[in-house]
Amino acid sequence: MYDYFRGRLAEVQPTYAVVECNGVGYYVNISLNTYTNISALSEITLYVHLIVREDAHILYGFATKEERTIFRQLISVSGIGPNTASIMLSAMSVNEIVGAIQTGNVDAIKRVKGIGLKTAQRVIIELKDKMGAGADVPVLVGFGADNPAKEEALAALLALGFVKSSAQKVLDKLCASNPGAGVEELIKQALKLL
């Protein structure tokens, strides 16, 4: 089993990347979140997961180990295949997925294309215990639907032209240090850090 590829980014599109390692180009399916993190780089490390099917071996790559962990947990749920998990990771950040599962926010998961009510409920039921304290994925504070101030601040920063992944990282830190911050305060602090 492969753990990661480190090499030159030969080609990148929103759904895949080609990573050249020692003269071999590996075609790796990626999420939009990973695309955002790697598209401007020339040398990258992708943490990978290999899916072996009867007719193909398919690589899925992730910019972080946390994203790969979430992917693996998602595909362990009945009704969620690798493509649906990848779509979910494109539609939501790792923090948003963990927050939605921890808080039981079915509506947030249902918004992902291809996931209905029953599948969203199954994701929450099967993964809620895996997202708690001591899990592979960190317990996140101030994320998801129970922090509308963070979501509004993120929308404002995106409207101002900031990159989503950078804005999310800054807002994540701000929400962790000050969970009760309002929208205006989050935006002002984020603008100082971006």
Whether residue 112 is contained in a domain is answered as yes
The CATH number covering residue 185 comes to 1.10.8.10
Same domain, 84 and 48: no
pLDDT single digits (tens) 26-60: 999 999 999 999 999 999 999 999 999 999 999 99
* Domain limit, last residue, from 46, 62, 78: 62
In a domain, 136, yes or no: no
Note whether residue 10 is domain-resident: yes
Are 77 and 115 members of one domain?
A: yes
Q: What is the DSSP string of 62-91?
A: ESSHHHHHHHHHHHTSTT--HHHHHHHHHH
Asked whether residue 24 is assigned to any structural domain, the reply reads: yes
**Does residue 161 fall inside a structural domain?**
yes
CA atoms within 13 A on the CB side of 184: 0
Residues 108 and 155 in one domain: no
Q: Give Cβ neighbours of residue 158 (< 8 Å, ≥ 6 apart).
A: 164, 167
Assess if residue 142 is contained within a domain.
Answer: no
Least confident of 8-17, 66-75, 98-107, 140-149: 140-149
DSSP letter for 145, please: G
Domain that holds residue 154: 147-193
